[in-house]
Amino acid sequence: MTDSTVTSGKHPWYKRHYHKLIRLDDSAHAIALGFSCGFFLGFTPLFGLKTLLSVLLAWMLRCNKIAAVIGVTLHDFILPFVPVLLRIEYIVGYWLLSNPHRMPPQLNANDLRLEQLFHWTTFLTVGGPLMLGSIVVGTPFGLLSYYAARWVVQEFRQKRAAYRQHHPRRESDDTFS
């Protein structure tokens, strides 16, 4: 399978990005750390800023920025579950910020008005618990994604090295490029 086949649209999106991720020219640690930064930031409710923040965080941590973008974009696969995820993050954040700890009040769709969603007080009352909850929920997934990405990159590189050792590289051979 050539690299042009992978990017030509014959494979699903995740496979194309998987192949891009494992072929990045950087250390396995830098790729995995970049990926985990992006995946972690995918949990935050900062829609429209996640990609920019993942690149900024990857730059600050001196890890792979492309892997960070792939990680935050991969998180979008859970898009159908975002309302449930946001609710869980809000519950966790609300519980942690309330003193004494208590669960948030039940949501009632009849009480919601569109103009309330865009009022700054709503941002303050909902945004704080939501951000804290997204950090708490996203941290274990970010850590797991680091180890998973590092393992995947290392496995690919070991297989590629073994393949190249037993099969001298020819100009037409693109199998493990």
pTM comes to 0.78
pLDDT at 26: 87
Residues 6+ apart with CB under 8 A from 22: 152, 153, 156, 157
* Cα dihedral value 69, 59, 148, 5, nearest 10: 40
pLDDT of residue 58: 96
Q: What is the pLDDT of residues 94-133, one digit of tens each?
A: 999 998 888 887 766 666 677 766 777 777 788 889 999 9
| Residue 164 half-sphere exposure toward CB, CA atoms < 13 A | 11
For tokens 């708490």, name the residue. Answer: 136
Listed residue (162, 139, 135, 155) closest to 31, CA to CA: 155
